[in-house]
Amino acid sequence: MAGSVNKVILVGNLGADPEIKRTQDGRPIANLRIATSDTWRDKNTGERREKTEWHRVVIFNEGLCKVAEQYLKKGAKVYIEGQLQTRKWTDQSGVEKYSTEVVLQNFNSVLTMLDSRNSGGGGSFGGDDAGGDFGSSGPSSAPPRRAVAAGARANSDMDDDIPF
């Protein structure tokens, strides 16, 4: 195969407040725990069932770390796009361990806050213009959201008179 794709898209809720650490040179690293849930009706009993999957998310992008630190709280609904990465590490007893995480870094990462209760209006960071209230549970009086590319300038040159 000539090319490959490593892309993860998650829509879920934070299980805890973001954990912010700093590198030796002061750059932030944000760790998130995101829960995604699947619900279905049991064919035999008719009961409603739910399965929750937990995802480790690590943000290396400095701008997205600042957003996570300032605006995200436990329970917040978020949309993220990143890549899977597995890292190898040794625990205190000398045993080698592996950890697979969703990593947001560089320009191909997106973090969108989907509910407005945490930030007073929601917001999208890292991608194209936000597509309305995707994932919200009802009508919102939040102002229109504007996306900001991770490390890129605002998209003001797209405001022209082309009719399509």
Q: Which one is predicted more confidently, 85 or 136? A: 85
Q: Determine the pLDDT at residue 137.
A: 39
Average pLDDT, the chain: 79
Q: Determine the pLDDT at residue 145.
A: 45
Look up residue 1 and give its amino acid.
Answer: M
Q: Which one is predicted more confidently, 97 or 136? A: 97
Mean pLDDT of 62-86: 95
Beta strands in 42-150 (DSSP E): 48-59, 77-90, 96-104, 110-113, 123-125, 147-148
Q: Which one is predicted more confidently, 22 or 149? A: 22
Smallest CA-to-CA distance from 79 within 34, 39, 40 is with 34
Q: Determine the pLDDT at residue 139.
A: 39
pLDDT above 70 as % of the chain: 69
Q: Which one is predicted more confidently, 161 or 66? A: 66
Q: Determine the pLDDT at residue 78.
A: 96
Q: Determine the pLDDT at residue 120.
A: 43
